[in-house]
Amino acid sequence: MSNLPPAQSIECALREDCPAAPACGVRQLPPCAGVEERHAAKLELCEMLESIADSLPGRVDRHRCLVVAAQLLPTLREAHAYEEQTVFPVFGRREDRAKSVLRLCAEHVEDESLAEEVTETLLHIGHGGAIANPEALGFMMRALFEAMRRHIAFEREHVVPIAKRALNRPVARVIASSRRGPRAVPGSGR
């Protein structure tokens, strides 16, 4: 399971019209909010990784290493699965976006692979192990959190807005119809 905070129970009145409705459920955020929550969790991990990298070699907080090691892979795996099952299908409906979706999925694999190495090293350090090569570890952690930040930036700029528009079309129709005011009732003079 992920290290994300428990979601508020949100009942969507437009579930029947939403293409990503199967991803909605009890105690789950709608996909449009869920991806943003996962981005926030990943960015928090980036901040912690950067803090550890900046503290190398002599001022490493071993407890923080254990905290990050415990959260990193579960958070990434859950966020990546959520994106691939919920957001990417909506974004990738158009054929011209298929390559972007494939690239994003490949980045997920790369991020998780690097995260496994970082996790193993952080566990070693957190349990009192020596830092064999602080410079290499710093580069490895920076490679991970910078790749994660670039990935999130791309999704926020390109994927999320398109997915939100696709998911929120029914919302836009409801809002537009409510702005037109009440409909005239035939024969009522209104």
What's the pLDDT score for residue 97? 84
What's the pLDDT score for residue 34? 77
- The whole-number average pLDDT for the span 29-40 is 77
Give one DSSP letter per residue of 131-182, joined into a string.
-S-HHHHHHHHHHHHHHHHHHHHHIIIIIHHHHHHHHHHHHHHHHHHHHT-S
Predicted TM-score (pTM) above 0.85 = no
What's the pLDDT score for residue 173? 44
What's the pLDDT score for residue 174? 36
Which residue range is the domain that position 136 belongs to? 35-162
**Choice between 183 and 39, residue whose per-residue pLDDT is larger:** 39
Rounded distance, CA 177 to CA 175, Å? 6
Q: 71: domain CATH number? A: 1.20.120.520
Is residue 105 a contact partner of residue 28, using CB atoms and an 8 Å limit? no
21 inside domain:
no
Q: How many domains does the chain have?
A: 1
45 inside domain:
yes
Looking at the predicted structure, is the pLDDT value of residue 40 above 90?
A: yes
16 inside domain:
no
Looking at the predicted structure, is the pLDDT value of residue 12 above 90?
A: no
Looking at the predicted structure, is the pLDDT value of residue 164 above 60?
A: yes
- The whole-number average pLDDT for the span 116-128 is 97
pLDDT in tens, 44-69: 999 999 999 999 988 999 999 999 99
Rounded distance, CA 44 to CA 24, Å? 25
50 inside domain:
yes
> Could you say which DSSP state residue 30 is in?
-
22 inside domain:
no
pLDDT in tens, 66-114: 999 999 999 999 999 988 988 788 777 778 888 999 999 999 999 999 9
103 inside domain:
yes
When mean pLDDT is compared over 7-16, 158-167, 170-179, the highest value belongs to 158-167
85 inside domain:
yes
Mean pLDDT for the chain overall: 79
